[in-house]
């Protein structure tokens, strides 16, 4: 069955235009608050947003450069309690749909169909096609506008003979998450946003996010499409795709995180940057903290300073901290090690091990006592972990 939109994507006028250097930029004739108010009004009152989306990650400090694109259709007339709208996103890899009740994804390469019949807000919070998107700023701008402590500036900018507003603001030690709420960051840095606003429509056509610490940045760009070109009614239901995609039973793939009082399965894994391996049975007599992480996880990065402090505090005791990577190549682990500088050993090639421990989200920690029995599993909460380590040493 064909999707409602083509998976063949094109490079539009706005992408080339937004990537170009402005011909000039000068102080605006209106305030940044006035411009952002009009943008917020446009985004909040539209019942439909239909646009081509591009995202480019340029994290030179971490050796990451990634691109993605697709077409997104948002319908805000559905007052869904989880996210407030229904959507369809499509590119050459995936068709992702939320119909206001069910959330499902068609994997075009593997021809599989996965359905979540009772999604919660957290199930939408890390969808890459919402990163610095119109959804993000529809929700975030009212809060930003209400905060006079956030400095905001505006310039008049001419790009390819078309006039735009360039609005900039910065957030101290916090970032706007995909769905437009604040998320604190531990690093002492400011997160900077630059929105390129079409003067005719007061809609954003480009967002550049950078920071005060290095040259890393992300860029998202949008070209707005015909809002009346709505998807076919049948396209909102996963049953329409079962002819071309194999429905995967969630129960077949569901991972149950290993629980307290269970005996941890044994394993043997290579230690990064060494010619050695570590097996769990070698660690009997030690309290062991296993921290499961992947490179493409902001929370995993921000956890490293706290894990380093934990490692240093207990380094002369019968305690062992190990970072477990079940996903990334040694080359990616090398970049992480160099840039983020964890001081504890990193183990990799851990796909099977993570599956046996029921780990499917990141970061997750599993704390073991001296006999190899699980004391705790779940979110990394330093104060709680410290108390449990002290109790079991």
Q: What angle, rounded to 10 degrees, do the helices at 382-392 and 298-313 form?
A: 30
Query: Looking at residue 13, what is its pLDDT?
Result: 37
Same fold: 13-249 with 255-392: no
Q: Parallel, antiparallel, or unpaired for β 162-172 and 190-198?
A: antiparallel
| CA quadruple 196, 225, 182, 338: dihedral sign | negative
Distance of CA 369 to the CA centre of its chain: 33
CATH code of the domain made up of 13-249? 2.50.20.10
Tens of pLDDT, residues 361-375: 888 999 999 999 999
Tens-place pLDDT, residues 206-264: 999 999 999 999 999 999 999 999 999 889 999 899 899 998 865 555 678 999 999 99
Q: What is the tens place of the pLDDT at every residue in 128-176?
A: 999 999 999 999 999 999 999 999 999 999 888 889 999 999 999 999 9
pLDDT at 80: 65
Please report the pLDDT score of residue 9 as a whole number. Answer: 36
Beta pairing class for 374-378 and 364-368: antiparallel
Rounded CA gap, 24 and 15, in Å? 19
- Would you identify the CATH topology of the domain 255-392? Glutaredoxin (3.40.30)
Backbone φ, ψ for residue 48 (5° rounding): -135, 140
Specify the pLDDT at position 8: 33
How many CB atoms within 10 Å of residue 25? 14
Give the domain ranges of the chain. 13-249, 255-392
| Cβ-contact 70, 9 below 8 angstroms | yes
Gyration radius (Cα) of the chain, Å: 23
- Report the mean per-residue pLDDT for the chain: 89
Q: How far apart are CA 102 and CA 256, in angstroms?
A: 22
DSSP 39-63: HHHHHHH-SEEEEEEEEEEEEGGGT
CA distances in angstroms from 70 to 39, 92, 122, 366, 367, listed in the order given: 23, 8, 22, 37, 41
Q: For 203, what's the count of Cα atoms within 13 Å in the CB-facing half-sphere?
A: 19
Comparing C-alpha atoms, which of 341, 353, 361 is closest to residue 279?
A: 353
Q: What is the average per-residue pLDDT within 113-117?
A: 88
């Amino acid at each position: 069955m064909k999707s409602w939109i083509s998976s063949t994507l094109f490079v539009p006028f706005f992408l080339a235009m937004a990537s170009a250097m402005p011909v000039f930029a000068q102080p605006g004739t209106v305030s940044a608050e006035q411009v952002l108010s009009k943008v917020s009004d446009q985004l909040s009152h539209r019942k439909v947003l239909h646009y081509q989306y591009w995202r480019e990650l340029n994290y030179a400090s971490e050796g990451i450069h990634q691109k993605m694109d697709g077409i997104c259709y948002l319908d805000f007339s559905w007052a869904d309690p989880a996210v407030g709208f229904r959507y369809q996103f499509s590119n050459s890899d995936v068709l992702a749909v939320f119909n206001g009740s069910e959330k499902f994804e068609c994997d075009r390469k593997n021809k599989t169909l996965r359905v979540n019949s009772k999604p919660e807000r957290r199930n939408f919070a890390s969808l890459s096609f919402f990163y610095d998107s119109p959804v993000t700023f529809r929700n975030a701008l009212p809060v930003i506008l209400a905060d006079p402590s956030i400095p905001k500036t505006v310039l008049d900018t001419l790009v390819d003979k078309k006039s735009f507003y360039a609005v900039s603001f910065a957030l101290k030690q916090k970032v706007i998450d995909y769905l437009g709420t604040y998320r604190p960051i531990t690093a002492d840095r400011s997160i900077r946003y630059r929105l390129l606003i079409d003067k005719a429509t007061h809609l954003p056509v480009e967002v550049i996010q950078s920071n005060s610490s290095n040259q890393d940045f992300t860029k998202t760009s949008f070209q707005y499409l015909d809002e009346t070109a709505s998807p076919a009614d049948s396209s909102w239901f996963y049953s329409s795709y079962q002819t071309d995609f194999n429905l995967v039973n969630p129960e077949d793939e569901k991972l149950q995180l290993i629980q307290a009082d269970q005996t941890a399965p044994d394993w043997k894994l290579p230690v990064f940057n060494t010619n050695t391996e570590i097996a769990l049975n070698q660690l009997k007599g030690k309290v062991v903290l296993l921290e499961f992480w992947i490179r493409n996880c902001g929370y995993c990065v921000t956890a490293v300073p706290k894990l380093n402090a934990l490692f240093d505090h207990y380094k002369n005791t019968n305690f062992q901290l190990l970072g477990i990577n079940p996903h990334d190549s040694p080359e990616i682990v090398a970049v992480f090690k160099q840039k983020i500088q964890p001081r504890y050993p990193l183990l990799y090639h851990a796909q099977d091990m993570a599956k046996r421990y029921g780990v499917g989200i990141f970061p997750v920690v599993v704390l073991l006592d001296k006999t190899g029995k699980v004391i705790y599993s779940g979110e990394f909460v330093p104060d709680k972990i410290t108390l449990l380590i002290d109790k079991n040493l």
